């Protein structure tokens, strides 16, 4: 047994190999396997299937075959099954959290929020589908008008590595509720928990309703995007890949949902209690190891409190425990891999070269027994809002700090970025908070409490942050299509068109 306060890694049992999940069964990967490694230690956790065109073809074929029966399943039955999925996820969450902790390098305590959100997604859509707009029927002249919602068909879904179970639930729950079948491509850097979850789904859902193909983006992902028998594309990830997915959807006239990058502003008014505001700001830029598109990484601090706020922000950063991901007292752990670690450190060099000033952090930290991992100090950078460090997504535990004194200027600066996924505001004057929130070019604006997710609230972005909304009833619409039927009692009399 591990020491109290740490997850029990010794008892974790994984399969040797994780091939594609097709038609309810784990099958051999056509193109072999590659190593899935512990982000912090480098230990090989398992072998992942290197999915390719052959695997995707089989997965889509299974989803297509399962679609007619699943689409005709009553919404009441779908609701029951979604609730069963929530129950099974809740029952198995401790094991799945530990797998994700090792796979992603994130601190184990963070997954409490991840799984709360994921479980709630399935329960929300289990209820939402029962009250979803099913149609409007009314008498019309000489007949009856019927409108109804129908599922789209086979949905291709591609998710990133940073929050595997959140992304899985965001994609699966509304698509299943609406009556679609699915081929999901999880990220190659962190997908063991997703496939383990898929195995649990196979005991609940009919074969072929949910299929999963692991592998590299340029192989399995591209084969899925390009497949000719797909009826919907849904992607969460980088703007660059999102553009390719969107272009494919446009060329083939497919519905698409894109949730892409972010560079969220966090505006602090001078009337706040500085201690609690610093705590909220620290959470806002360090949670998820800084590897999230919703983080409040651009801190705009009013000139009247700037010096005191920044001093306390630095002091709080010094208190953050950097340590093993499986230790529940750890608050900042390892980035996903060496590539991402070097990318973050390179951005700190870019910042220095642009004239920004690193006030605290900016270095890699060695954690004994976890030398493989890229543990990065919480980093606070004084920068002007036009600098690359304040404009481009870093995906690491770093925040820029910038002074402001004029409300119109800070709103302009906050919005002068290519993204618009999230934003934060801190003030004791709710009139100011709501007025600024209404001017933010962002899909989610949190006042006084960052990451304040509410079940059923639409989630998605403005500008380059994406197209469409998830986490809400709007997602049901994005996985459905409307049909209008007009039934006439009598045909027009002979001679009407002569």
* Residue 189 C-beta-side C-alpha neighbours within 13 Å: 18
Rg (alpha carbons) of the chain, rounded to whole number: 24
Token pair listed for 246: 């969107």
- Give the 3-state secondary structure percentages of the chain, helix then strand then coil, rounded to 5: 40, 20, 40
Rounded to 5°, the CA angle 249-254-255 comes to 100
Round to whole Å and give the CA distance between 218 and 285: 30
Out of 61, 191, 293, 470, the active site residue is 293
- Residue 168 falls in which region: left (phi positive, over 0), alpha (psi -120 to 50) or beta: alpha
Round to whole Å and give the CA distance between 400 and 402: 7
Out of 259, 291, 441, 470, the active site residue is 259
Round to whole Å and give the CA distance between 63 and 213: 12
Contact 446, 117 (CB under 8 A): no
Strands 398-404 vs 379-382: parallel, antiparallel or unpaired? parallel
Angle between helices 75-91 and 192-201 (to 10 degrees): 130
Contact 256, 233 (CB under 8 A): yes
Q: How is 7-19 classified by DSSP, letter by letter?
A: --GGG----SEE-
Burial of 100 (0-12, 13-18, 19+ CB in 10 A): buried
101 given a catalytic annotation: no
Q: How is 400-457 classified by DSSP, letter by letter?
A: EEEEE--HHHHHHHHH-SSEESEEEEE-S-HHHHHHHHTT--SSEEEESSTT---TT-
Contact 442, 464 (CB under 8 A): no
Round to whole Å and give the CA distance between 27 and 51: 11
> Measured on CA atoms in the order 246, 238, 413, 283, is the torsion positive or negative?
positive
Catalytic residue IDs: 259, 293
């Amino acid at each position: 047994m591990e020491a109290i306060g740490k997850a029990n890694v010794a008892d974790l049992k994984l399969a040797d190999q994780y091939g594609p999940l097709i038609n309810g069964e784990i099958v051999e990967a056509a193109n072999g396997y590659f190593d899935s490694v512990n982000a912090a230690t480098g230990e090989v956790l398992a072998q992942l299937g290197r999915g390719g065109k052959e695997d995707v073809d089989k997965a889509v074929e299974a989803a297509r075959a399962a679609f007619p029966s699943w689409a005709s399943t009553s919404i009441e039955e779908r609701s029951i099954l979604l609730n069963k999925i929530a129950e099974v996820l809740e029952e198995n969450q401790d094991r799945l959290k530990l797998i994700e902790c090792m796979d992603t390098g994130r601190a184990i305590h963070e997954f409490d929020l991840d799984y709360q959100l994921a479980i709630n997604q399935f329960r929300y859509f289990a209820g939402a589908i029962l009250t979803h707009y099913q149609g409007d029927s009314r008498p019309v002249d000489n007949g009856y008008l019927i409108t109804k919602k129908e599922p789209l068909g086979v949905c291709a879904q591609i998710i990133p590595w940073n929050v595997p179970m959140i992304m899985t639930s965001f994609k699966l729950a509304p698509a299943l509720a609406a009556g679609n079948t699915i081929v999901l491509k999880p990220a190659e850097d962190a997908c063991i928990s997703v496939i383990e979850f898929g195995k649990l789904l196979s005991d609940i859902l009919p074969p072929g309703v949910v299929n999963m193909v692991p592998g590299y983006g340029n192989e399995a992902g591209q084969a899925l995007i390009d497949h000719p028998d797909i009826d919907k594309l849904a992607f969460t990830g980088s703007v660059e890949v999102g553009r390719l997915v969107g272009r494919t959807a446009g060329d083939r006239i497919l519905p698409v949902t894109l949730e892409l990058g972010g560079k969220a502003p966090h505006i602090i008014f001078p009337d706040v209690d500085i201690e609690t505001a610093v705590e909220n700001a620290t959470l806002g830029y360090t949670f998820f190891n800084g590897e999230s598109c919703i983080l409040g990484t651009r801190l705009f601090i009013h000139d009247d409190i700037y010096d005191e706020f920044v001093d306390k922000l630095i002091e709080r950063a010094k208190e953050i425990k950097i340590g093993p991901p499986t230790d529940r007292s750890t608050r900042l752990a390892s980035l996903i891999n060496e590539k991402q670690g070097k990318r973050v450190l390179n951005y700190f060099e870019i910042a220095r070269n642009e004239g920004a000033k690193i006030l605290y952090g900016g270095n890699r930290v060695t954690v004994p027994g976890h030398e493989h991992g890229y543990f990065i100090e919480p980093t606070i950078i004084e920068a002007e809002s036009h600098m690359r460090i304040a404009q481009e997504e870093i995906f690491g535990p770093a925040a820029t700090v910038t002074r402001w004194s004029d409300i119109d200027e800070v709103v302009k600066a906050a919005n002068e970025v290519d993204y618009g996924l999230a934003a934060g505001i801190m003030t004791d004057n709710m009139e100011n908070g709501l007025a600024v929130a209404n001017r933010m070019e962002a899909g989610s604006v949190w006042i006084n409490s960052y990451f304040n997710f509410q079940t059923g609230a639409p989630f998605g972005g403005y500008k380059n942050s994406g197209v469409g909304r998830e986490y809400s009833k709007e997602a049901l619409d994005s996985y459905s299509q409307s049909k209008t039927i007009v039934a006439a009692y009598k045909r027009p009399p002979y001679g009407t068109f002569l």
